[in-house]
Amino acid sequence: MNLNLAHRFCSAGAGVAMLGLALALTGCAGKAQVFGLQENFASSETHSRLFDSTPAQTCEAGRRALLSQGYVINTTRPDLIEGRKNFQPDLESHLQIEIRFVCAPDSADGQVSLGFVTALQDRYALKKSNNSASLGVGMLGSVSLPFSASSDSMVKVASETVSSPPFYDSFFDLVRGYLASAEAPGIMP
């Protein structure tokens, strides 16, 4: 694209179609990174399942499923459970998975519920940085003594929604197992 033409698009400002605007902004910004469409909203059963139980019973079974796998529960409501679990695959990386399980009624009598689950995985990496400072002593002249230190910190390098169907299938199987065991008298409300 001609830089002169890109400059005209950039300074004109209005009435540019979406594709023309993207091309013009790419010309104005030099190197601009454009991401394609990430979501298509296709019909899928990856993130939801129907349960023959009330939303409160379904969410309680979800809470027990997360607890049984070592998740720390952050939020507990009759219609929402949130839990988090940390992993450290090696000394210089860290993973954190956060699961959000929402339970909604799916029948007029409230005895059937729809459970929606989403897992977000954050990845962290060790970042090493060297810090240095010097000390100048005016009375002795220009004497400089270097002091150096290094610090390490974990920095988030990626965050993504888990999209693995087997991951969600195993979660829903565990929820169903807790619902089945709750059918015994006196275990769950």
User: pLDDT tens digit string along 9-33?
Assistant: 344 443 433 434 344 444 444 456 6
Do both 68 and 29 map to the same domain?
no
46-72 tens-digit pLDDT: 899 999 999 999 999 999 999 999 999
Whether residue 29 sits in one domain with residue 56: no
Query: Do 74 and 14 sit in the same domain of this protein?
Result: no
CATH number, domain of 113, equals 3.30.530
- The rounded mean pLDDT for the chain is 78
Residues 59 and 24 in one domain: no
- Regarding whether 114 and 189 lie in a shared domain, the answer is yes
- pLDDT surpassing 90 at residue 170: yes
Q: Can you give the pTM of this predicted structure?
A: 0.67
Structural domain boundaries, residue 1: 1-34
Give 103-143 pLDDT, tens digit per residue: 999 999 989 999 999 999 999 998 887 665 555 555 655 55
Helix 165-182 × helix 55-68 angle, to 10°: 110
Residue 54 and residue 18 share a domain: no
